Amino acid sequence: MKDYYQILGVNKGASKEEIKKAFRKLAHQYHPDKPGGNDAKFKEVNEAYQILSDDSKRAQYDQFGNTGNFAGGGAGQGFGGFDFSGFTNGQGGMEFDLGEMFGDLFGGGRGGSASRQKRGRDISVDIEVTFKESIFGTERAILINKINLCDNCKGEGAEPSTKLKKCTTCNGQGRVRETRNAFIGSFTTVVECSVCHGKGEVPEKACAKCGGKGTLKQSEEIKIVVPAGINHGEMIRMTGRGEAVARGVAGDLYIKVHVESHRTLHREGSDLLMDLTIKLSEALLGAERKIETLDGQLTLIIPEGVKYGERLRIKGKGVPKGSKRGDLLVRVTFTTPTKLSRSARKLIEELKREGI
């Protein structure tokens, strides 16, 4: 036999209000249309509530340990066996706060509940930097056309020094009731007042600049600091620099960084890599070569007998990493001549006799 009290997580002596509260919480958690919902759990919770919320059914269950045939179509059912009888308003409809119970289903998302703070939209932009700028860091100034708080009323929607008066739409409550028809029948929802935006008060004189909205769409120049060592495709997040919303928090600005490729250098972790082609004689005898790096021109000492493909390391000329930097690795390659002069051939033959 199922333990309906255990299913709802309440004691056997729980009041009807405690049972209703437990049911609302679990129905919200397990609803199959919600992310992570569980249809079987949802039906089990609904079944338990149907029994324990009805005095006669509960008494029979407590006394005999069974419920009889209570799965029939009683009043208040119809949404897959979901019982809304506990939420009727006495006029054939239902009344509850959808933001609390089904915020994610009825347009709630991040702000489904009227008690949650509003949040402005996030903005995403792309910028391009040179390879050198990605290594050492740089700054960019971009112009964005977005919604900002009105600088005249500071987002309040009222002319400065204007007194506030009680909102007549919600009678100062900040919330109003709306009756709608949906798949579960007629129901009344409690929503934030669209006139006072939940404050219960409105200004005697609306802001002349924004018309009382508290926000304006305008251009704004934003300075972006690109950190040293950033990789291609990395994202920079600037908290609160997205679009504003009256009496709420602004969204975030996301900047995706695209790094231009370099003619001779490429990156490998915190090191920089480049190729250098030298002569065969330089590989055999050693040499000094001038190379162009991100730090300017440097002299590279090539040791005698360097191997083909060998990497020569120049310390501290790579990618900044904290207070240190990676290294510059130079991969040495060389070519063999396809044609030899008579004197060159004679020298090579002498080397051959030497066993080289």
Find the DSSP H helices in the chain.
Answer: 4-8, 16-30, 39-52, 55-64, 98-101, 131-136, 280-285, 342-353
Question: Between these two residues, 133 and 284, which has the higher pLDDT value?
Answer: 133
For residue 110, the 8-state DSSP code is G
Cα angle: 83, vertex 87, 89; to 5 degrees: 130
Which residue in 355, 342, 344, 343 sits closest to 279, CA to CA? 344
Q: How confident is the model at residue 60 (pLDDT cuts 50, 70, 90)?
A: confident
Does 145 have pLDDT greater than 90? Answer: yes
51: number of CA atoms within 13 Å, CB side? 25
Alpha-carbon span 208 to 150, nearest angstrom: 10
Residues 328-342: tens digit of each pLDDT: 999 999 988 888 888
Q: What is the pLDDT of residue 113?
A: 44
Task: Report d(CA 297, CA 295) in Å as an integer.
Answer: 7
Q: Domain 123-259 maps to which CATH number in 2.40.50.180, 3.40.50.10300, 2.10.230.10, 3.20.20.70?
A: 2.10.230.10
Ramachandran region of residue 211, left (φ > 0), alpha (ψ -120 to 50) or beta? left
The model's pLDDT over 85-106, given as tens digits with 9 standing for 90+, comes to 445 544 444 445 544 454 444 4
Query: Given this model, what pLDDT does residue 93 score?
Result: 45
> What would the pLDDT profile of 290-324 be if each residue is shown by its tens digit?
999 999 999 999 999 999 999 999 999 999 988 89
Provide the pLDDT confidence category of residue 70 given band limits of 50, 70 and 90: very low
- Classify 4-87 by CATH class: mainly alpha
Phi (first) and psi of residue 189, to 5 degrees: -110, 150
266-334 topology per CATH: HSP40/DNAj peptide-binding domain (2.60.260)
Angle between helices 16-30 and 39-52 (to 10 degrees): 170
Answer whether 0.75 is exceeded by the pTM.
no
Contacts with 279 (C-beta within 8 Å, 6 or more apart), sequence order: 287, 334
* Shared fold status for 123-259 and 266-334: no
Angstrom distance (rounded) from CA 356 to CA 343: 17
Question: What is the band of 185 on the pLDDT scale with cuts at 50, 70, 90?
Answer: low
Task: Answer yes or no: is pLDDT of 256 > 90.
Answer: yes
Q: Where are the domains of the chain?
A: 4-87, 123-259, 266-334
